Amino acid sequence: MKPITFAGADAAYINAYNGIDHQIWNDTKGPIVALRYSIRNHYLKEQSFMCAYCRMEKKERHGLTWDVEHIIPKSTHPLYLFEPENLALACKECNQSKWDKEVLSKKLTGKSIYPRASNAFTIIHPHYDLYSDHMEIAVLAKKVFHRPKNKEKGRETFIICDLVRFSYEFAEWEDFNYAIVKEVSDYIKRCPADATKNEIERFMCTLDFTVKADF
């Protein structure tokens, strides 16, 4: 993902920032309003309208759907308020779950330079990590399921961003296996009536419940 490059009035405003007062981020008037808009539009394009953490696609552009996410929380490390590689777009649900939780492997001092390495973070970093290396997303009967692929970044992202909330949707099923069998059965029914056994087996090999989650 390409980080944003600031220029003009945005750059001037950021250069004047004291590195301490992160509350200016929430101002509803002044240069910060246009700056937030620029950041949101940049990362929406870079992320293909997908959340940095759950990777669900939402085509809306407004702030009622998206939050500009500070990967290292601005409340704990205000120095990185405008660091391009600390910025991304997250859906409201993921951002509220993550909030100001610790995401660093090691503590930083107040004036540390931004840690530009994957291993500096306990969660999937949208700038430094390939999402599919750590998390798999499957869609079954229009329901979404996240599966951490490791006990490190995958697991931590799953917990911190409350991705288990998607799994609650499966509670209405009496049997998860039944949903898979039904999906396969429905798929076979869509095969041509004169399809041979070998053709059906070949069709079956194309079944894939996982979705592309990288951007």
pLDDT of 79: 96
Q: What CA–CA distances, in Å, run from 140 to 143, 146, 166?
A: 5, 11, 12
Other residues' Cβ atoms within 10 Å of the Cβ of residue 182: 14
Domain check: are 63 and 137 in the same one?
yes
Tens digit of each residue's pLDDT (9 = 90 or more) over 104-120: 999 998 789 999 999 99
Residue 3: inside a domain:
no
Domain containing 175 equals 169-204
Same domain, 126 and 199: no
Statement to judge: residues 178 and 163 lie in one domain? no
The whole model's pTM is what? 0.85
Beta bridge pairs of residue 136: 147
Assigned domain for 123 exists:
yes
For 180, the 3-state DSSP assignment is helix
Pull the structure tokens for residue 173.
Answer: 């099923």
**Residue, of 191 and 82, whose pLDDT is higher:** 82
Say what the pLDDT of residue 168 is: 66
The CA distance from 84 to 82, in Å, is 6
> Residue 171: which residues within 8 A CB-CB, separation 6 or more?
none
140: helix, coil or strand?
A: strand
For 147-175, how does the pLDDT look when each residue is reduced to its tens digit (9 = 90+)? 999 999 999 999 999 998 987 655 555 55
C-beta pairs of 208-212 under 8 Å, 24+ apart in sequence = 209/138, 209/139, 209/140, 209/183, 210/136, 210/137, 210/138, 210/139, 211/137, 211/138, 211/139, 212/132
